[in-house]
Amino acid sequence: MIDYHLHLWPHGQTSRQATVEELAAFCEKAALQGVDEIAVTEHLFRFTQADRVLGGFWSSCDDAPALKESMADYWAEHARADLDQYVETVLQARASGLPIVLGLEVDYYRDRMSEVGELLSGYPFDVLLGSVHWLGSWMFDNLDHEGSMAEWALRAVEAVWDDYVTSLEELCDSGACDVAAHPDLVKVCGHFPPGEALEELNDRIAEAISNSGMAAEVSSAGWFKPVAEQYPSVSLLSKLSARGVPVTTASDGHGLDRVSVRVSDLKPLLAAAGYKELTAFRARKPTKVPM
């Protein structure tokens, strides 16, 4: 198995830099969970280089001032690490023989993905995850932020899903990333549109990923969220498989204690959907690996 979605720091922890010793501990922990290779995929917004290019994106969002203010505070809290140091440290760890590849989780920025591509083009990444974590300046999956969670009661669930899927479609169409991370993340709080609408939205997700040539991530992280199911759902995973979309596996662990938790438990779901192999990446080129 592989774990292609790992973060070095829990949210809110930004005062230190990556170390080879820390990465070695990640690899050791992953091996104990039955994982042969990991990708470190820290959030792009954690780095000062991203702040210089994307900082203040929320100012143009058509949202309530309170949402913009919360996004500005969140961004300021996190955008402190150095991308060059992160890249150099992961490359050192890989050169030392550790089973690790260099990645990044890239959030979707409406009308700004070309700027993201330019920022990242000079770095030797192996894999870039694309994700939608906010709609405008609303952090819809920030479970610890009271204002963000209260927003769910103010919006129609089907409209939220439609906005999310539209953002994911645009992210896939941008060509900026290699893997669609937790592709139905919008379900994180357990809010779903009616059955027929849900299936249509899942069809759109599967079609967008398929048309882009990206892989889809199958993640155990959802088991630890209010929705209490993996990403993607069984229905969406079946739609992805029917379209021949390749997959990675992931834990989305933030910090050493969450590395590769329950990744091996994804095997039966993948097998039931018809998958016999996973997709790994080198220099952003996919390769097939046994499951």
Task: Please say whether the beta carbons of 226 and 189 come within 8 A.
Answer: yes
Q: How far apart are CA 180 and CA 160, in angstroms?
A: 19
Q: Is the pLDDT of residue 1 over 90?
A: yes
Question: In which band, very low, low, confident or very high, does the pLDDT at 77 lie, cut at 50, 70 and 90?
Answer: confident
Say what the pLDDT of residue 14 is: 65
Mean pLDDT score, 219-228? 98
Say what the pLDDT of residue 17 is: 84
The residue type of 108 is Y
Q: Where are the domains of the chain?
A: 2-290
The number of beta carbons lying within 10 Å of the beta carbon of residue 184 is 27
- 167-207 pLDDT, tens digit each: 999 999 999 999 999 999 999 999 999 989 999 999 999 99
Q: How far apart are CA 233 and CA 241, in angstroms?
A: 12
- Fold for the domain defined by 2-290: TIM Barrel (3.20.20)
- 111-163 pLDDT, tens digit each: 999 999 999 999 999 999 999 999 999 999 999 999 999 999 999 999 999 99
Q: Is the pLDDT of residue 109 over 80?
A: yes
Question: In which band, very low, low, confident or very high, does the pLDDT at 9 lie, cut at 50, 70 and 90?
Answer: confident
Predicted TM-score (pTM) above 0.85: yes
**Which residues 6+ apart lie within 8 Å of 137 measured at CB?**
58, 61, 63, 67, 68, 70, 71
